[in-house]
Amino acid sequence: MGDVTSHVLVVDDDDDFRGLAARMIAAFDIGQVAQAGTCAAALEVAGRLHPVAALVDVGLPDGDGVALAAELAAAPWSPRVVLTSSDSSAAARANGIPFVAKEDLADHLLRDLLSGGRE
């Protein structure tokens, strides 16, 4: 059986932020990073790649990031899902899904949430 590549999915409608987050997550060395800018694209990519983790923005142009995060978290492959937003009050809507404010993304907390504490 060949090597199975682990993926981490970054979902955000802001191309610049998505690219920055992808570079940061790539440095965590927990998997290759895939990106999506909408809920629809995220579901397509997730269905194809079965990411081990996902970082999902709360505000997306075609739907609710919290609902998307819950859908991803319920996937049969059980990815770790973390919500993010530049509006830290959005944490109140996270419904038990881990939340990291965008300004705190450089913190080790994100790495720990996405990797399950494994380095």
Task: Report the pLDDT value the prediction gives residue 118, as an integer from 0 to 100.
Answer: 54
Domain boundaries, the chain: 10-59+68-91
Q: Please tell me the predicted confidence (pLDDT) of residue 14.
A: 96
Q: Which residues of the chain have pLDDT under 50?
A: 1-3
Tokens of 72: 């991803």
pLDDT computed for residue 1 by the predictor: 37
Helix H segments across 12-106?
15-28, 39-49, 65-73
For the question of whether the overall pTM of this predicted structure is more than 0.85, the answer is: yes
The pLDDT score that the predictor gives to residue 52 is 96
Report helix, strand and coil shares of the chain as percent, to nearest 5: 45, 25, 35
What is the structure's pLDDT at 7?
A: 96
pLDDT of residue 111: 79
Task: Return the percentage of the chain with pLDDT > 90, whole number.
Answer: 72
Q: Running DSSP on this structure, what letter comes out for residue 83?
A: E
Instruction: Look at residue 103 in the predicted model and tell me its pLDDT.
Output: 86
The pLDDT tens digits for 34-48 are 999 999 999 999 999
